[in-house]
Every structure is written in C-alpha cells, then in structure tokens.
C-alpha cells in the first residue's frame, strides 16, 4: 500500500495525525493512531508520511521561534509513544529500524546547551539518540557507539582546547579499524566546516537545524 | 544573619529528592510558564527597557518562587538541592554589599549598585578566554588592555601551542602548564602597564588548570576572584562545586555566572528572565558566590545584545538591584556578534553595557566577539577601552535615557545580527611597532563615540 493509493478519507486521517504531532497533542495523536489501525491503513505509511511531515513542522516552528526546546522534548516523547501504537500492527521483522546516534560533548568540556538542542532536535526527527552528556572521554564514546550499534557519532565542543578531542575520536576510530562503521558529525561554537574537513569528519552543523539536515543527508 | 554552610549544601546534594534530568528540565519549563502567567509578566518587543520597574519586581518575585519551588539540580548525584524561604532570606542578607578587589593603588571597591545609581561601576575588560598566537603578542595586547584608564581589571585568554608546536588540550597536562604560564604573562603585563595590583581573571576548562593559576606572586591572587559557573539551566555538577571548595579553602572571592537560555528550557523571554533571577540565587546559595553575573543567552543568535536578551537580562538585573543589596554583574555587552574593528561591535557593546550599568550592575566578564573560534589575537585594547568608557559614562543615567539610547543602537545593528561583520584581528587593527590603533580604527572609534555622545551618553574619559 502506498500513500497515493489511499482514499481521501484515509489521507485525511494521516493528515490529522501529522497535525496532532505538529501541535504536540499526545492524546489526540494516540486516538488518531488507533483510528488509522482500525481503518486498516498500513501503519508503515503513517510512520513514513505523518511522522516525517510532522517532524518538518516541529523543526520549522522551532527554527522560527514559535516552539522551544521543551516542545522538542515533548514531540520526541509523543512520537515514541504513538510510534509504539502503530508498530504493534507491523510484523517485527518489517519494522523499519531507526538510525541510532551517539552524541556527547567531548572530554574536558562542560557545555551542554548546544549539544542538548541538537540531541533533542535529532530525536524529535525520528533518530534514536544516546546522549552521553558532557565531558565524555573519547574511548567511552566509541565504546557506546559499538555497544548500541550506532550509525553516527555526533561530537560537540565549545572550547578551542577541547576541539582536539573531536579529532581524537576520529583518529581512534581509524586506529581501531572502526572508521567505516560510523559517520562522525561535529559542531560547537569555535568549530568550522573547514576544521571538520581537516580532521576527516563526515559532517558539520553550525547550529541544530544544520546538524539535523546533515544527519539526514548522511544517514537517510 | 549567616550563610548556609557549603557542607550542608553538599549534604543536601546527596540526600535531596532524586529525579531524572529530563524530568527536571520539563518541570522547570512548566513552572516557569505558570509563574509567567501568575505574575503577569509580559515581554513587549516595542519596549526593550523596563522603565518603571514594575515588570522587574514581578520577575524578581517569580524568580524567588521558582528557586524555592524547584531547587537546583545536581547532575552528579541526580538529586535536587533545596533550601527554605528562611534560609534564602538569611543567605541574601548575609551576602556582602561591598567587597574589595585588587591590591595597592589598583585596589577597587565593588559595592551594591542601585538602579540609576551613582555608585562606581567596576569594569574588568580584556579579551576574555580568547586564543593568542604567542607569548609576546599576548603580553602586548594584555599590556595595552591594562593601560586603559577606564578599566579596573582584565581577563586572560590562552596560548594554543606550547613551544609553538604542541597543542594545548583541556584535561591534558598541557592545559595546566599553559594556563599557569598564561596567568604569569597576564600578571607581568599589568605590571608593565604600571598597574601591578590590578585585578586579573582567567578561567580554564578544567578545575586543576584553573586552580593552578592561583599564585600570589605570578598568577591570580586572593585579591582577584575565582569564577564558578552554574550549568544552564538551574543545574550544578560536582565539577562546578570543586571550584567553590577550592575558593573557600584558599580564601578568594567567588564570582558566579549562570545563563538562562532564551528558546531553551526556560523557553520564552519572560521565562528566561525568571530563570535568570533563580539562577543568580543558585549561585549565591549553592555555589557560595559573593558577586554574580545575572544574564541569559539566545539559543540561536550569537550575540548577547539581541533585543530579547537586552530585555531579559536588564529586567532580571533591575529586579535584583531593586529588591536586594547584592552585588550584581551584568556584562550584557560582553559578547557582540560582530567582530573587532567594526561599528557594529561598538554599538552592540554599548547597548549591553549601558543597560547593565543603569540597571545597577558592574561589568566584569571581559569583552570579545561572541564566536572567535581558533582565530588568534581576535581583539584589541580598544574594545576594552570602549567597554570601560561606556560603563563609566552610563553611571547616573536614568532608564528613560538608557531606553532611548538602546532603541537608537538596536536600529543600527539589529538587522545584521544573523550575519554580522566578521571584523579583524589585532594585527590588522593596530600598528605593530607603536601598539596604537591604526588611523582607520581610531577614527571609527572616535566617530562612534561622538555619535553616542550626541545621543546622550556622557563619556567622562
């Protein structure tokens, strides 16, 4: 079943779900999700269409200052909850695996604000996020990425004296012959695209919006 | 009145209610939004300055209520540190209304300032925590900053290479070594400027390197201050509290900083103003600060002088100044989006520093472009002079005049905040032989100074 093959009524249900998620209304979203299942609409279409469109809406509202960080957290929670309702009607082997990202502020750096915004933004766009917090040693980041089978490592640094740890993670991945297993995206106040390229990072985001676009480009 | 013991705070950090960090964040958001409605706090972009103090008083009361209701989240123990209303009242009353910083003829008195007050404003300028290319360049720039007559102290930065080739990395041995050496250069530079007792400040990424800089002969002194930071928003980690522990044992004044985040968990400008007050209370109660920076930061725009931020920080500062005898630091113009050598840098800096001063704050957080990255020598003594001249010129100005000036300045730079002029490094702006500003920069400086004088800023230097 494809989106284009749905009836007008069925499409309206998917739009209702998109709108409910965009408005971060968990109760309505749960009710609509159940209606979608009751109407025998393939839940994979709802996940693909309604969730993706809603994530765009939420991101755009955050970008223009209409929504704030807590709304992104709530949108992420909502999508997990409603996603679970829809996924119960999908055979386990057909559930599309979400991409996992390990994110951290590197060793010696206690700054969390930018990293938290990126982390929340990625989560509300459907990625599985393993946020390790701040001041995290390179070895622990790599260990976590291996453990959760992450597809990407995202590294934040707000200080010129902690930027070398972003390079260290990449160098360690190379030494451990793991470089091909993970995309690496970096960001933070003093970090530039040129620096990202110079240390061999795959991606760079100057802010949360750009980081999200970069993650989509690299993983989807 | 006595202050709550630091050890009691630590005890509470281990015995307070447990909560997941995410739940604390969302609770803060909800409470802040509720308080915003309950107290009728409203940000009006047309009025970036609160002239009558009505909003400021409401924000102060809401900030007190938030701090008492929510407490401070300790990320190390995942517990909430709570205090009672009586303890908070006692803490506020026991905090000094006056301290001394610096030594000898360079000693200054930093006291509580009133809104529109005539009390001296203390200015600690310098190119705060920025990278420098080499020791000689660092010395020259610091010396130039220390020679500014309007400046009472200077902040240091960091040399990114040891022996010109080895990277300085936070948490590695190179960090301790280099920050200690940097503090020595800073001390030698102020002495060479003829101000050996001048306040010098610096803050390394990690505790050991920050502590290593304290040295009565060639480093940071007990007569300077130690900066402790609260995590945004309304959080603290043992890493932060380690700095407090050292400062208490060493006998150095503790200066705290905390920023609420507009667009973060405090969400709206109104919420960020409430959290700015609550975060300030955290600094004195939990982190034992005697002076503190009350402020906010935008989540998207890299400048402290946005319209929203000017309202948030200045109204929160005004609320604290009107309702307590605490010593407040504003430093609202410390980090312009524009770079050195541009008119916009001077405009942004002036808007923030005028408001800080008029609302009853000092400005002790240095000055530099918001994002300097790893570009070395990205600042000159002239921006320090500007910070000092603006702050001292704004003493005694009333809020009506400040409001007029700030709106005039916003009209000059606001449209360029998302894409500000990059600016130039010291090498491009100063004569390397005479160490004086190049004519272009000196003329630009003089032009903006005359422009602001014509708009009501009474420069005294």
Instruction: Assess if residue A95 is contained within a domain.
Output: no
B261–A113 C-beta distance less than 8 A: yes
By Cβ distance, the residue of B131, B232, B371 closest to A189 is: B371
Q: Which residue has the higher pLDDT, B383 or A190?
A: B383
| Whether residues A105 and A71 fall in one domain | no
| Closest-CA residue of chain B to A164 | B169
Tens digit of pLDDT at every position of chain B (461 positions): 789 999 999 999 999 999 999 999 999 999 999 999 999 999 999 999 999 999 999 999 999 999 999 999 999 999 999 999 999 999 999 999 999 999 999 999 999 999 999 999 999 999 998 999 999 999 999 999 999 999 999 999 999 999 989 999 999 999 999 999 999 999 999 999 999 999 999 999 999 999 999 999 999 999 999 999 998 899 999 999 999 999 999 999 999 999 999 999 999 999 999 999 999 999 999 999 999 999 999 988 899 999 999 999 999 999 999 999 999 999 999 999 999 999 999 999 999 999 999 999 999 999 999 988 889 999 999 999 999 999 999 999 999 999 999 999 999 999 999 999 999 999 999 998 888 999 999 999 999 999 999 999 999 98
Domain end point (choices A29, A60, A90): A90
B40: left (phi over 0), alpha (psi -120 to 50) or beta: left
Sorted by where each begins, the domain ranges of chain B are 98-454
CATH of the domain at A208: 3.40.50.280
What ipTM was assigned to the predicted interfaces of this complex? 0.87
Domain end point (choices A30, A60, A90): A90
Instruction: Assess if residue A64 is contained within a domain.
Output: yes
Q: Mean per-residue pLDDT for A67-80?
A: 92
* Whether B158 contacts chain A with CB within 8 A: yes
By Cβ distance, the residue of B170, B237, B239 closest to A159 is: B170
Do the bridges between strand A100-105 and strand A128-131 make them parallel or antiparallel, or are there none, so unpaired?
Answer: parallel
| Whether residues A135 and A60 fall in one domain | no
Question: What is the CB neighbour count within 10 angstroms for residue B410?
Answer: 20
| Whether residues A109 and A169 fall in one domain | yes
| Whether residues A121 and A165 fall in one domain | yes
By Cβ distance, the residue of A109, A189, A192 closest to B170 is: A109
At A1-47, the pLDDT tens digits run: 677 888 899 899 999 999 999 999 999 999 999 999 999 999 888 88
* Whether A113 contacts chain B with CB within 8 A: yes
In chain B, the largest separation of any two C-alpha atoms, in whole Å, equals: 62
Instruction: Assess if residue A18 is contained within a domain.
Output: yes
Domain end point (choices A90, A121, A137): A90
* DSSP, residue by residue, B227-281: EEEPBTTTEE-HHHHHHHHHHHHHT-EEEEEEEEEETTTT-SHHHHHHHHHHHHH
| Whether residues A115 and A208 fall in one domain | yes
| Closest-CA residue of chain B to A69 | B264
| Whether residues A152 and A213 fall in one domain | yes
Instruction: Assess if residue A114 is contained within a domain.
Output: yes
| Whether residues A173 and A199 fall in one domain | yes
Residue B402 tokens, joined: 């400040």
| Whether residues A169 and A111 fall in one domain | yes
Which range marks the domain in which residue A26 is found? 3-90
**What is chain B's length?**
461
| Whether residues A122 and A210 fall in one domain | yes
Residue B315 tokens, joined: 């109204």
pLDDT at residue B433, as a whole number = 85
C-alpha distance across the termini of chain B, in Å: 40
| Closest-CA residue of chain A to B268 | A68
The total number of structural domains that make up chain A: 2
CATH number assigned to the domain covering B98-454:
3.20.20.460
| Whether residues A196 and A104 fall in one domain | yes
| Whether residues A126 and A215 fall in one domain | yes
Comparing CA positions, the residue from B297, B317, B218, B203 lying closest to residue B254 is B203
Average pLDDT, chain A: 92
* Whether B29 contacts chain A with CB within 8 A: yes
* Whether A191 contacts chain B with CB within 8 A: yes
- Is the CB of residue B4 less than 8 Å from the CB of residue B10? no
Instruction: Assess if residue A169 is contained within a domain.
Output: yes
**Which residues have C-beta within 8 Å of that of residue A108, sequence separation ≥ 6?**
A135, A159, A161, A162, A165, B169, B170, B171, B172, B175, B205, B206
Q: pTM of the prediction?
A: 0.94
Question: Which residues in chain B have Cβ-Cβ distances shorter than 8 Å to A109?
Answer: 170, 205
CB contacts < 8 A (A, B): 87
Q: Look up tokens 């123990």; give the residue.
A: B77
| Whether residues A136 and A205 fall in one domain | yes
CATH of the domain at A45: 1.10.1240.10
């Amino acid at each position: 079943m494809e989106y284009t093959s749905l009836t007008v009524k069925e499409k309206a249900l998917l739009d209702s779900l998109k709108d409910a998620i965009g408005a971060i209304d968990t109760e309505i979203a749960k009710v609509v999700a159940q209606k979608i299942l009751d109407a025998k609409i393939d839940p994979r279409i709802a996940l693909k269409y309604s969730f993706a469109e809603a994530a765009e809406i939420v991101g755009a509202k955050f970008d223009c200052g209409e929504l704030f960080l807590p709304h992104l957290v709530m949108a992420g929670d909502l999508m997990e909850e409603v996603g679970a309702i829809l996924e119960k009607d999908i055979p386990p082997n057909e559930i599309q695996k979400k991409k996992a990202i390990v994110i951290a502020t590197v060793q010696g750096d206690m700054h969390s604000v930018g990293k938290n915004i990126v982390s929340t933004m990625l989560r509300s766009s459907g990625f599985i996020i393993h946020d390790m917090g701040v001041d995290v040693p390179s070895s622990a980041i790599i260990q976590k990425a291996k453990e959760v089978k992450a597809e990407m490592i995202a590294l934040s640094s707000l200080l010129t004296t902690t930027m070398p740890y972003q390079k260290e993670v990449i160098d360690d991945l190379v030494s451990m012959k793991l470089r091909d297993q993970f995309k690496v995206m970096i960001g933070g106040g003093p970090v530039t695209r040129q620096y990202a390229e110079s240390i061999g990072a795959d991606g760079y985001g100057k802010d949360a919006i750009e980081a999200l676009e970069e993650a989509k480009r690299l993983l989807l | 009145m006595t202050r709550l013991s630091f050890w009691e705070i630590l005890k509470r950090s281990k015995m307070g209610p447990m909560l997941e960090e995410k739940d604390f964040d969302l609770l803060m958001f909800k409470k802040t939004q509720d308080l915003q409605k309950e107290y009728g706090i409203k940000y009006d972009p047309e009025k970036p300055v609160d002239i009558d103090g009505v909003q400021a008083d409401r924000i102060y009361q809401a900030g007190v209520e938030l701090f008492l209701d929510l407490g401070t989240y300790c990320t190390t123990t995942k517990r909430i540190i709570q205090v009672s209303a009586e303890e908070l009242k006692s803490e506020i009353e026991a905090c000094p209304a006056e301290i001394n910083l610096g030594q000898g003829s360079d000693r200054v008195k930093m006291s509580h300032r009133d809104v529109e007050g005539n009390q001296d404003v203390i200015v600690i300028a310098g190119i705060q925590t920025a990278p420098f290319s080499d020791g000689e360049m660092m010395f020259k720039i610091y010396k130039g900053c220390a020679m500014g007559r309007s400046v009472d102290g200077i902040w240091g930065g960091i040399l990114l290479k040891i022996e010109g080739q080895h990277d300085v990395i936070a948490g590695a041995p190179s960090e301790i070594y280099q920050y200690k050496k940097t503090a020595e250069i800073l001390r030698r530079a102020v002495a060479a400027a003829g101000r050996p007792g001048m306040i010098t400040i610096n803050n390394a990424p990690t505790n050991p390197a920050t502590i290593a800089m304290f040295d009565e002969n060639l480093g940071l002194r007990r007569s300077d201050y130690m900066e402790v930071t609260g995590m945004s928003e309304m959080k603290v980690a043992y890493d932060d509290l380690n700095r407090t522990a050292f400062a208490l044992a060493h006998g150095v004044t503790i200066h705290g900083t905390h920023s609420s985040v507009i667009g973060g968990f405090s969400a709206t400008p109104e919420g960020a103003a409430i959290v700015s007050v609550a975060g300030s209370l955290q600094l004195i109660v939990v982190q034992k600060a005697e002076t503190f920076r009350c402020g906010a930061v935008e989540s998207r725009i890299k400048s402290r002088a946005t319209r929203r931020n000017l309202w948030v920080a200045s109204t929160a500062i005004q609320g604290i100044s009107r309702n307590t005898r605490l010593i407040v630091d504003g430093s609202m113009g410390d980090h312009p989006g524009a770079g050195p050598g541009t008119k916009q840098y001077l405009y942004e800096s002036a808007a923030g520093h005028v408001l800080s001063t008029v609302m009853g704050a000092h400005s002790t957080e240095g000055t530099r472009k918001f994002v300097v990255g790893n570009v070395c020598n990205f600042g000159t003594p002239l921006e320090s002079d500007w910070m000092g001249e603006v702050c001292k010129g704004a003493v005694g100005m009333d809020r009506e005049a400040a409001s007029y000036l700030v709106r005039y300045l916003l009209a000059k730079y606001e449209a360029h905040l998302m894409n500000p002029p990059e600016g130039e490094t010291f090498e491009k702006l100063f004569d390397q032989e005479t160490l004086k500003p190049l004519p272009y920069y000196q003329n630009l400086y003089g032009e903006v100074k005359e422009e602001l004088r014509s708009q009501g800023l009474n420069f005294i230097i």
